[in-house]
Amino acid sequence: MENLRSTFDKSSLSVAVITQNEAENLPACLASVTFAEQIVVVDSGSTDDTIRIAKDFGCEVFSKPWLGGFGAQKQFALDQCRHPWIFLLDADERIPPETAEIINDIVVKRSTIDFAAYSFPRKNFFQGRWIKHAGWWPDRIIRLFQKDLGRMTTATVHEAIHVEGPVKALDVPIEHYTESRLSHLLLKIDKYSTLGAQEAFAAGRRATAWSAIFRACVTFFQDYLLRLGLLDGPQGLTLAMTDAVNKYFKYAKLAELCRQADTQGRSHETR
């Protein structure tokens, strides 16, 4: 990273990261964005060394209880950024040096830029392997944008940046080192499926145990066969299975919420 620092001075750029117990991921993440003048870390109750690591890197650290969804939590982080250009980064992501140089060039020349935001392909790594199939590549996402032209969607999970203005697609990647430990992956599935079920329920959607099973089977078939996840070896099989499991529990939990609501409704009618 010293070579990167010597290439250019710190950019008038804000980087925003939300965290909770990210001590393992955070050092590499922050080391990849030391070219930014401001790094905002919003933490929601870490019990490991996350906050200490962020402060050691010179980040501006904010403690904020979980706001109920990733969209709201990330928007709070964006609101703490003071520069006109923001880069939104997850704690398990990295910006390679060649990507950092392009970002710096955009920010330096911001007065002549005609785009509101920029999207990047994301290289997803799982258990040491770059996953290239089943929709994991190029996995294009908007991450660099003008502060006054972008906001997070309100989704509790699978949130995104909504931008008012043209978006340019760049070829330089972001690297994403997704959780590879199966025990931790199961915990993540539990969290994401709960958030997904709650969001679907709030939107008035319904499900049954049978529809949950059907969706899980379709998801596995699509990921592993139709979208060629089988070409990613054992890692591709594991990801297809975990995607299917996540889908099952999302809709099984939605079915549970529907049953509880129906029971409460009948109870009120009999009073």
Dump pLDDT digits (tens) for 7-16. 446 889 999 9
Residues 77 and 168 in one domain: yes
Q: What is the pLDDT of residues 61-96, one digit of tens each?
A: 999 999 999 999 999 999 999 999 999 999 999 999
CATH code of residue 40: 3.90.550.10
Residues 169 and 224 in one domain: no
Residue 139, classified by CB atoms within 10 Å of its CB into exposed (0-12), middle (13-18) or buried (19+), is middle
Q: Is pLDDT above 50 for 161? A: yes
Q: What is the pLDDT of residues 197-220, one digit of tens each?
A: 999 999 999 999 999 999 999 999
- Please spell the DSSP secondary structure of 190-251, one letter per residue: HHHHHHHHHHHHHTT----HHHHHHHHHHHHHIIIIIT-GGGGHHHHHHHHHHHHHHHHHHH
Q: How many domains are there within the chain?
A: 2
Report, as an integer, the average pLDDT of 178-203. 96
Q: Supply the range of the domain harboring residue 92.
A: 2-177
Q: What is the pLDDT of residues 231-253, one digit of tens each?
A: 999 999 999 999 999 999 999 99
Q: What is the pLDDT of residue 42?
A: 98
Report, as an integer, the average pLDDT of 164-175. 97
Residues 173 and 192 in one domain: no
Q: Is pLDDT above 80 for 266? A: no
Q: Is pLDDT above 70 for 221? A: yes
